[in-house]
Amino acid sequence: MLNDYSKEDKVLLAVDCIIFGFDGEDLKILLIKRDFEPEKGKWSLIGGFLKKEENLDKAAIRILNHLTGLDNIYMEQLYTFSKVDRDPAERTISTAYYALIDIESHNNEFTNVETSKWFSLKNAPDLIFDHNRMVERAVSRLKYRTKTKPIGFELLPEKFTMLQLQNLYESILNEKLDKRNFTSKINALDILIKLKEKDMGSSKKGSYLYTFDAEKYNKKLKEGFVFKI
């Protein structure tokens, strides 16, 4: 056991948040323009430092809320990045989280509108330090989670069309999906509620709206249900 902590090296612990959003057609990432050195003026993930009274989850929630105004959204711890020279300013370890939001539902909540911007994931700029690696790892995790858990619904509005859902999966998986097969797989899961309402903006006949049945999904989980797309 350590008897004298004062002899041990002290390092900073940062928390970086990879925020994914969906606008109905494209998967996007929220970035912020850094306003201090090093790398001032360059694009960065949203982040901050762990405080003594916090655990990592609470720090991630605080940082996300302080810099964006967002609260009560899906967030998952991703990975800890500890390369010695990852931050040129000082020895810093970073634990990354990723969050999922529906852009349309939260677009008016951002408090850092002037310095933050949504980018299409396909056309996002290079980021500072090792933030590109963080994003790559988050995308891999998101692809896996999307196939094994219904977290994709966190990126959709409460009511959505089957086309919107397919667009979302195609954006995350970065591949074109057959419409008939996709619809068949989704219906077979039996976790959506088909509403009588229609989205009349998609065509003359309109497209039926759906909503995710969380209560039914949780009940099916207890019965041994396995989510798989």
**CA of residue 37 relative to chain centroid, distance:** 27
Q: What's residue 109's pLDDT?
A: 64
Segment 55-77 shows an average pLDDT of 92
Structure tokens at 48: 């901050």
pLDDT at residue 214 above 80? Answer: yes
pLDDT by residue (tens digit) across 78-104?
999 999 999 999 999 999 999 999 988
Q: What's residue 108's pLDDT?
A: 65
**CA of residue 113 relative to chain centroid, distance:** 18
- The DSSP bridge pattern shows strands 192-199 and 160-161 to be unpaired
- The DSSP bridge pattern shows strands 12-22 and 92-102 to be parallel
End-to-end CA distance of the chain: 48
Q: Which domains does the chain have, with CATH numbers?
A: 8-148 (3.90.79.10), 158-222 (1.10.10.10)
pLDDT at residue 7 above 90? Answer: no
The segment with the largest mean pLDDT, out of 92-96, 103-107, 197-201, is: 92-96
pLDDT at residue 201 above 90? Answer: no
**Cβ atoms < 10 Å from Cβ of 159:** 15
Asked if 11 and 92 touch (Cβ cutoff 8 Å), the reply is yes
